[in-house]
């Protein structure tokens, strides 16, 4: 492999909106996510509406009339 062309991977802390934190390797300094495996409905089995910029309300308002 050539020297000096590959990114510098380092241990970084990933923090979720639910408060969970874990470490991984990345080229970034720190990573913030909205949903992780501790709070994602697929892994927890609990339904949770994730409202991104009012899309859920917009959908309900649009189709409530019909």
Q: Could you tell me if residue 4 is inside a domain?
A: no
Q: State which residues form the domain around 51.
A: 10-64
Calpha distance 61→54 (Å, rounded): 11
Which pLDDT tens digits describe the chain residue by residue (66 residues)?
688 888 888 999 999 888 889 999 999 998 988 888 787 766 666 766 665 667 777 788 888 866
Contacts by residues 36-41 (CB-CB < 8 Å, ≥ 24 positions apart): none
Cβ(8)–Cβ(25) below 8 Å: no
Nearest by Cα to 29 from 14, 41, 44, 50: 14
Q: Specify the number of domains making up the chain.
A: 1
pTM: 0.53
CATH number at residue 59: 4.10.80.400
Q: Could you tell me if residue 5 is inside a domain?
A: no
Q: Could you tell me if residue 55 is inside a domain?
A: yes
């Amino acid at each position: 492999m050539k020297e000096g062309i590959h990114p510098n991977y380092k241990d970084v802390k990933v923090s979720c909106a639910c408060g969970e934190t874990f470490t991984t390797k990345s080229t970034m300094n720190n990573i913030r996510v909205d949903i992780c495996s501790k709070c994602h409905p697929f892994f927890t089995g609990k339904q949770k509406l994730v409202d991104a910029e009012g899309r859920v309300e917009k959908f309900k308002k649009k189709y409530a009339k019909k």
